């Protein structure tokens, strides 16, 4: 899932200092799961904004709404009435949701209420870890299901650097060496010989195609 965290309140307030009616728009998927932008978090942020406005002697009307997904036009339509009446929208979705909402309801100003951090997994209650950088050319079949791009601190494609020690990365003794994890997994799978293949350096064109990436499924188009 996409993992995000709420922006500091002062930063959000600075982005809406010139408006008197704002919509806080939540998203019911990824940011809801990581407790950054779901319906509950919309309510908490809305109340913080109201309280901050009262303390500053400012008139601010805050409206709350949550779409099931902000990355899907069908669900953005459910926010039409609330967006129409707002001077500004604070989207607490991921960066994709913020941009899609801004595109759908231009020229209404849409500002982010969340910092999008990474694509990851839930490790524990209140703890998430990055597992994928959506590079566009997945090689998990070659590395035992462990991604060297996301889980090696240097995104090395051909084994560990000289800085790892006792299975830990040189950047932090608490961070596991991604390539140690890959090595151990490939030993367990009896596929260690597969790591002898040298992978070529990736260029910008390999992962980005020279610009924003797109995926089109012709078999799904009408």
What the block records as the tokens of 76 is 């953005």
Least Cα distance to 25 among 116, 115, 113, 118 occurs for 113
Model confidence over 100-142: pLDDT tens digits? 999 999 999 999 999 999 999 999 999 999 999 998 889 999 9
More confident residue, 67 or 221: 67
Q: Can you give the length of the chain in residues?
A: 222
Q: What is the pLDDT of residue 2?
A: 96
Better pLDDT: 8 or 136: 8
Mind listing the domains of the chain with CATH numbers? 2-118 (3.40.50.2300), 136-201 (no CATH)
User: Could you read off the pLDDT of 165-209 as tens digits, one per residue?
Assistant: 999 999 999 999 999 999 999 999 999 999 999 998 876 545 555
Cα 104 from chain centre:
20
* Token pair in block for residue 133: 């950088």
pLDDT value at residue 205 = 46
């Amino acid at each position: 899932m996409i993992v995000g965290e709420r922006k500091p309140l002062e930063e959000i307030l600075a982005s809406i200092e010139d408006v008197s009616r704002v919509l806080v728009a939540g998203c019911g998927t990824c940011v809801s799961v990581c407790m950054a932008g779901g319906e509950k978090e919309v309510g908490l942020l809305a109340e913080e904004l109201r309280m901050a406005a009262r303390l500053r002697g400012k008139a601010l009307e805050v409206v709350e709404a949550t779409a099931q997904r902000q990355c899907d036009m069908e669900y953005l339509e459910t926010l039409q009435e609330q967006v129409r009446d707002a001077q500004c929208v604070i989207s607490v979705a991921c960066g994709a949701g913020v941009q899609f909402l801004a595109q759908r309801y231009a020229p209404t100003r849409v500002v982010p209420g969340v910092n999008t951090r990474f694509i990851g997994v839930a490790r524990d209650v209140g703890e998430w870890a990055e597992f994928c950088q959506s590079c566009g050319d997945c090689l998990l079949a070659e590395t035992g299901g462990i991604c060297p791009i996301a889980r090696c601190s240097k995104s090395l494609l051909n084994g560990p650097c000289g800085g790892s020690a006792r299975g830990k990365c040189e950047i932090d003794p608490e961070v596991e060496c991604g390539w140690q994890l890959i090595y151990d997994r490939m030993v367990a799978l009896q596929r260690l010989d597969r790591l002898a293949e040298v992978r070529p350096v990736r260029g910008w064109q390999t992962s980005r195609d020279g610009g924003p990436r797109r995926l089109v499924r012709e078999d799904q188009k009408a």
